[in-house]
Amino acid sequence: MSALITFHADIKNILEQARGKARSAVNAAMVEAYWLIGRRIVEEEQRGQHKAEYGARLIEDLSAALTADFGKGFSYANLYNCRQFYLTFPDQAILYTACRDLSWSHLRLIMRVDTPQAIDYYCREAREQNWTVRQLERNIKSQSFQRLLSSQASPSSTQGTSAHLEFIKDPYVLEFLQLPETGRLKESRLEQAIIDELQKFLLELGKGFSFVARQMRISTETSHFFIDLVFYNYLLKCFVIIDLKTGTLSHQDIGQMDMYVRMFDDLKRGEDDNPTIGIILCDSKDETIVKYSVIQESQQLFASKYQRILPTEEELIAEIEREKRLIEGGA
């Protein structure tokens, strides 16, 4: 009986793999077709003397003709997306590299991003991290690329730390924890909310993170200390410890994290691990305290704010610019 069950499971697995390959092949063929359609539209537009007016009329007429022959799916908006797709990825060789394994739904979102660097980032991360369309949309709306410290710091302040900065965001957006928008939180409540939504928190942290422990005890001969959250980043090959603060960052908080990092390196870090990174996740922070603290010069200590709700694009950009001025001011 068990052999028969195994036989059936093998056949089902073969069919599932075949269907998956078929879907991938169809998706790749359609993405290529949309790119070719976009290229052909642009080529035809360039023959018109009045490009804007000619282009709009050209797409409207094409939509009517294709709908008559092929049915739904060729609206003006869809054909305009094909045009934008080609303009976003005019090099076909780059298209195959950047867009492989991404669905048309993914690509329509990425095309709305306004810088080549951000487009490259979202294509790469969506592909490597297997983001769903919903996850990609959330990361674009929350300005994930712009929140990376590597896109904010001045070149002189990132020497020797670029590998770390590619993984640290400021601020972190934690709207998925469904915390109250205002009012003082207990740190225990914030910690429990993160544990309850650990998968989403890992996605917000970024690539390479795996959860290790909460309230990890590190002990000396005379004292015991407890670290709120401990992660390991297999790309950086180091532990990342997080201290949660629901109030304004203080110099005592920074001193405590500095001690935690030194103790963790001494007591927990393996021979093949890189130096531990410490992140203080706080509700708010005083720029003067950050500027004149050990964080300013340390390659292992970082302080990042967290947002309880998903801010508007304008609010996020303003916050990112504020952090950028802070970093550059201390460089």
Is it the case that residue 182 has pLDDT exceeding 50? yes
Q: What digits encode the pLDDT tens for the residues 183-203?
A: 788 999 999 999 999 999 999
For 143-180, the pLDDT digits (tens) are: 888 888 644 444 444 344 445 557 888 889 999 999 99
pLDDT at residue 215 tops 90: yes
Return the minimum-mean-pLDDT range out of 133-142, 169-178, 303-312, 316-325.
Answer: 316-325
C-alpha distances in Å from residue 319, one per residue of 46, 73, 267, 303, 306: 41, 40, 37, 14, 11
Q: Using alpha carbons only, what angle is made at residue 140 by residues 177 and 241, rounded to the nearest 5 degrees?
A: 50
CATH class of 150-330: alpha beta
Q: What one-character DSSP code corresponds to residue 151?
A: G
Looking from the CA of 147 toward its CB, the CA atoms found within 13 Å total 24
**Token digits of residue 127:** 């592909």
Give me the pLDDT at residue 165, please.
58
What is the pLDDT, as a whole number, of residue 160?
40
Which residue, 77, 47, 44, 81, is CA-closest to 63?
77
**Under DSSP, is residue 280 helix (H, G, I), strand (E, B) or coil?**
strand
List, for residues 93-141, the tens digit of each pLDDT value. Answer: 888 888 888 999 999 999 999 889 999 999 999 999 999 999 999 999 9
pLDDT in tens, 251-285: 899 999 999 999 999 999 999 999 999 999 998 88
pLDDT tens for 229-255 read 999 999 999 999 999 999 888 889 999
The rounded distance, in Å, linking the Cα atoms of 239 and 278 is 9
pTM above 0.85, yes or no: no
pLDDT score of 323: 67
The per-residue pLDDT of the chain, averaged, comes to 84
Cα gap 94→88, rounded to integer Å: 11
pLDDT confidence of residue 231:
97
Residue 154's pLDDT is: 43
pLDDT given for residue 100 in this prediction: 81
pLDDT grade, residue 28 (50/70/90)?
Answer: confident
With a cut of 80, say whether residue 312 has pLDDT above it. Answer: no
Q: Pinpoint the residues of the chain covered by CATH 3.40.1350.10.
A: 150-330
pLDDT tier at 54 (50, 70, 90 boundaries)? low
Proportion of the chain above pLDDT 90, given as a percent: 44
pLDDT of residue 45: 84
Provide the sign of the torsion angle of the four alpha carbons 61, 88, 172, 318, taken in this order: negative
- pLDDT: which is higher, 294 or 59: 59
Predicted confidence at residue 316, as pLDDT, reads: 74
Quick one: tokens of 223?
């004292």
pLDDT score, position 156: 41
Residue 66 predicted with pLDDT over 80: yes
Least confident of 11-15, 31-35, 41-45: 11-15
Question: Given this model, what pLDDT does residue 140 score?
Answer: 93
Dig out the tokens for 39 from the structure: 């290229």
